[in-house]
């Protein structure tokens, strides 16, 4: 495994959410979402690419619909792997309009009575974008396979705030090369199987 691979090996395996960071503000984000129990639901890696099955195509279609649902979002590089999904997206801060306080949002006890704070709508955050995508894809996948209510995704997801062009370039390269490195990917169930002396995988 090269230095480039090592840099991103654990990037999508731990939450790195920053306390008090506004995830609806403008910027670039790298997200990873894993299938429930890391089951290989979405297709197979063939050579240096991924051949999506019907469920994988549903995932792709739902992701590509995101900007139509949330115009402040611009999609960038992405890859759907057999059991997980990586993507880069941009949030346009100028289009993520602030909204007034919600009716049940309490004001600070020292806040003047006539003060109405400006808050970001929860529907514009990274968390809301991911939840909406996961929910829509889950509903369509379960209709397709006749498994109402079954989980498709892990509950959590992972995100990384992209810091500049160099960071973006490295992440785009990581996404592009992900299928090529599937044999060594920790998300690949076969990578965890023990090898026999002849090199074959033990079931």
pLDDT at 21: 53
Q: Considering the domain boundaries, does residue 183 fall inside one?
A: yes
Residue environment code for 56-70, b if the CB has 16+ CB neighbours within 10 A, otherwise e: bebbbebbeebeeeb
Domain count, the chain: 1
First to last CA, the chain: 25
Contacts of 54 (CB under 8 A, 6+ apart): 144
Q: For the domain that residue 14 is a member of, what is the CATH number?
A: 3.30.70.1290
Q: Is the per-residue pLDDT at 123 higher than 70?
A: no
Q: Which domain holds residue 152?
A: 3-192
Distance, CA of 33 to CA of 86 (rounded, Å): 7
pLDDT at 191: 80
Q: What is the mean pLDDT of residues 180-202?
A: 72
CB atoms within 10 A of CB 97: 12
For 66-78, the pLDDT digits (tens) are 999 999 999 999 9
Residue 165 in any domain: the answer is yes
Question: Do the domain assignments include residue 116?
Answer: yes
Residue with tokens 């592009």: 176
pLDDT tens for each residue of 92-115: 875 544 332 222 333 334 444 444
203 belongs to a structural domain = no
Residue 62 lies in a domain: yes
* C-alpha dihedral, 117 to 123 to 124 to 127, nearest 10°: 120
Whether residue 66 lies inside any domain: the answer is yes
124-178 pLDDT per residue, tens: 789 999 999 999 999 999 999 999 999 999 999 999 999 999 999 999 999 999 9
In a domain, 199, yes or no: no
Instruction: Answer yes or no: is pLDDT of 2 > 80.
Output: no
Q: pLDDT class for 65, splitting at 50, 70, 90?
A: very high
Query: For residue 101, is it within any domain?
Result: yes
Query: Beta-strand (E) ranges in 47-198?
Result: 49-52, 73-80, 84-91, 98-100, 118-120, 158-161
Instruction: Give me the mean pLDDT over the 44-71 stretch.
Output: 97
Taking the CB of residue 167, how many other CB atoms lie within 10 A of it? 14
């Amino acid at each position: 495994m090269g230095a480039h691979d090592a840099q991103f090996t654990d990037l999508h395996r731990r939450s790195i959410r920053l306390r008090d960071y506004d995830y609806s503000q403008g910027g670039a984000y790298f997200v990873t979402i894993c299938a429930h129990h890391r089951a290989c639901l979405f297709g197979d890696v063939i050579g240096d690419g991924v051949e999506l099955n019907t469920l994988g195509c549903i995932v792709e279609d739902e992701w590509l619909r995101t900007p139509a649902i949330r115009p402040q979002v611009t999609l960038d590089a992405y890859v759907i792997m057999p059991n997980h999904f990586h993507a880069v997206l941009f949030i346009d801060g100028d289009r993520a309009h602030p909204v007034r306080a919600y009716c049940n949002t309490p004001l600070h006890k020292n806040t003047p009575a006539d003060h109405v704070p400006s808050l970001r709508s929860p529907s514009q955050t990274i968390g809301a974008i991911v939840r909406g995508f996961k929910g829509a894809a889950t509903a369509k996948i379960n209709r397709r396979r006749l498994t109402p209510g079954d989980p498709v995704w892990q509950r959590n997801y992972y995100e990384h705030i992209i810091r500049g062009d160099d960071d973006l370039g490295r992440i785009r390269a990581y996404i592009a090369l992900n299928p090529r490195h599937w044999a060594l990917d920790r998300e690949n169930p076969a990578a965890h199987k023990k090898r026999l002396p002849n090199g074959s995988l033990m079931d």
